[in-house]
Amino acid sequence: MTAMRDLDGSVLALSGGIGGAKLALGLSHLVVPEKLIIVANTADDFEHLDLSVSPDIDTLVYTLAGLSNDELGWGRRGETWNFMTALEAIGGPRWFRLGDGDLAMHVERSHRLRAGETLSDITADIARRLGIGLTLLPMTDDRVRTRLETDEGWLDFQDYFVRRACAPMVRSVVFAGSETATPQPMLMRALAHPRLRAVVICPSNPFISIEPILSLPNVRAAIAACPAPVILVSPIIGGKSVKGPTAKMMRELGQTPSAVAASRCYEGLLDAVIVDHKDAGTTAAEHGAAVFPAHTLMRTLEDRRVVAAKVLDVADSLAGKVA
Amino acid sequence: MTAMRDLDGSVLALSGGIGGAKLALGLSHLVVPEKLIIVANTADDFEHLDLSVSPDIDTLVYTLAGLSNDELGWGRRGETWNFMTALEAIGGPRWFRLGDGDLAMHVERSHRLRAGETLSDITADIARRLGIGLTLLPMTDDRVRTRLETDEGWLDFQDYFVRRACAPMVRSVVFAGSETATPQPMLMRALAHPRLRAVVICPSNPFISIEPILSLPNVRAAIAACPAPVILVSPIIGGKSVKGPTAKMMRELGQTPSAVAASRCYEGLLDAVIVDHKDAGTTAAEHGAAVFPAHTLMRTLEDRRVVAAKVLDVADSLAGKVA
């Protein structure tokens, strides 16, 4: 079901959840759907109550379909919580909150996975039904799971991220299953394509959203060898993460949170980095990539479009000049 | 977890869904919880989207916990349907409607079944958490499934009952798995107890709600041999079923719908039948059991209590006089 699209001139974006989805939405306003591929991290995926939950895919789907809950910052707009109330009354787990509408995604996906469909095919079908024209791909159809070594011991990702609200100190991160997983074939085809327009690394958490994608066999090498410009939008603005534990994790992993530190997570891969005006003083030598300052905080839809436009401008300005 | 209760003086009721639950609720107002055992049909159970749905258990749980939707006649009070709306939008099946709150029961039960708990233990735990003091038991922990031979071929129960709204003509009914299923042990202990107060057959559909229970190994013989009075509350009033396809199925199976025909479904088992005043002219010889007319249409809670009181009066009047 994953269409064999003509990749000529396509934009490929690597994304985690909320921050990445903002840029993906911006890109979707500027790039025709046939030429936009979003690859989602799936190392956050987990099984809860035997339901297969794919948080980053769902955030991307809801955002791109115009269904996202912008007040809450996650989940669906107009969500209701009667399932959770009823579940708690019969003794079910309450730490991971599943909205009534959101449940449809997990129940349907779980059912189709058990019936033998791939996550790629299910995601493509759901995206199409919700009116999403671009290509949304999981990074792999195989099982990869982020596990964190912390001061409280080894934790599964959602246990760290949701149940413990990122409070434990992170010492290291592994992606169980990554070594033997097969990267989504269209991701590899896109990276190998001679006329890809750009590879965009969204402003997502480097350690737990983008690194899982890079950790898949051959992906890092394919990005390094990709003839298209590789452009990062910094997830760190003025030493802070816009959302989530990126800055906290940087500190815990021995780095000073900064846009430079973010770029250094992608050493040897980047052609350019778009940093916020707050971080404009930093140099290409520090970043290991050409630096383009912009207003990168994406509060409004217009912000998302502006950052996306900057990404495309930078990409096109670098076209033909990069390896 | 199923408590080893002292069965001395207990009332045992066999029940399907809605009609049975009304009488069960009435009985629960008149019998102390320690002395009331409700056995639910589970041959309507099915798997939908990989969720284990037990319609009769759920109707009993919701009714006995005061959570039932009395306007709709099934499901939970104040139910919302955002899951279904979202499910339909992503191409999921719409023929079986799962309410947002109701889903909690199916998701939690499915999860606990997969983890190896029995349906009996899960049901007992959920009932207890919802404040139900009486003993609510599935007829078996094994898989038994009603299948109907119809003019449209063999149909699974929910396919007949929900998807086709009971429209096909029924030729025969089988309970797949029944022959090798183990009846719930407390059901068998109760039937064998020398001082059980009564066996009540609720006004449920004889063919698809009560017969599955009777079809389990040794259950029919145990009821026939039970020293307690066995009392049916007729599901047919004035030739019509109060709800559901009982009368229609009687016609299709070659019978004229009547309270007498209902009694004849339990030939050799009944000591008494409580019929509606509309059916008061019928004789013990016709029914194969002593006939007690009453107002049996249970519209209000008071109706449910009155019918339950009649059942207990009849049982106690027959105590010691039956085999």
Q: What is the pLDDT of residues A146-178, one digit of tens each?
A: 999 999 999 999 999 999 999 999 999 999 999
Coil vs helix vs strand at A170:
strand
Q: What is the pLDDT of residue A1?
A: 43
Element (H, E) at A175: strand A170-176
Residue A144 pLDDT greater than 50, yes or no: yes
Which range of residues forms the domain containing residue A264? Answer: 11-149+175-318
| A150-156: long-range pairs with CB below 8 Å, 24+ | A156/A46
Tens digit of each residue's pLDDT (9 = 90 or more) over A200-256: 999 999 999 999 999 999 999 999 999 999 999 999 999 998 888 999 999 999 999
Interface contacts A/B by beta carbons within 8 Å: 115
Is B94 part of a structural domain of the chain? Answer: yes
Tens digit of each residue's pLDDT (9 = 90 or more) over B174-225: 999 999 999 999 999 999 999 999 999 999 999 999 999 999 999 999 999 9
Is B4 part of a structural domain of the chain? Answer: no
Residue B196 and residue B17 in contact, taking contact as beta carbons nearer than 8 Å: no
Is B159 part of a structural domain of the chain? Answer: no
Instruction: Return the amino acid letter for B124.
Output: A
Is B186 part of a structural domain of the chain? Answer: yes
Residue B64 and residue A124 in contact, taking contact as beta carbons nearer than 8 Å: no
B90-109 as b/e, with b when 16 or more CB fall inside 10 Å? bebeeebebbbbbbbbbbbb
Is A84 part of a structural domain of the chain? Answer: yes
Dihedral angle over CA of B280, B282, B285, B290, nearest 10: -10
Positions in chain B whose pLDDT score sits under 50: 1-3
Give dist(CA B297, CA B237) in Å, integer.
Answer: 8
Q: ipTM > 0.90?
A: yes
Is B162 part of a structural domain of the chain? Answer: no
**Interface membership of A103 toward B (CB under 8 Å):** yes
Instruction: Supply the mean pLDDT for chain B.
Output: 95
Q: Are A83 and B85 within 8 A, CB to CB?
A: no
The pTM assigned to this predicted structure is 0.93
Q: Are A89 and B129 within 8 A, CB to CB?
A: yes
CA pseudo-torsion sign B57, B58, B62, B65: positive
Residue B304 maps to which CATH number?
A: 3.40.50.10680
Residue B77 and residue B68 in contact, taking contact as beta carbons nearer than 8 Å: yes
Tally of CA atoms within 13 A in the half-sphere of B57 that contains its CB: 28
Q: What is the pLDDT of residue A321?
A: 64
Substitution target in B80, B83, B96, B98 with the highest count of A β-carbons within 10 Å is B83
Give dist(CA A212, CA B298) in Å, integer.
Answer: 61
| Cβ partners under 8 Å of residue B2, min gap 6 | B120, B121, B124, B135, B137, B185, B186
Is B139 part of a structural domain of the chain? Answer: yes
Which residues in chain B are contacts of A111 at CB distance < 8 A? 49-50, 92
Is B169 part of a structural domain of the chain? Answer: no
The total domain count for chain B is: 1
**Interface membership of B76 toward A (CB under 8 Å):** yes
Return the percentage of chain A with pLDDT > 90, whole number.
92
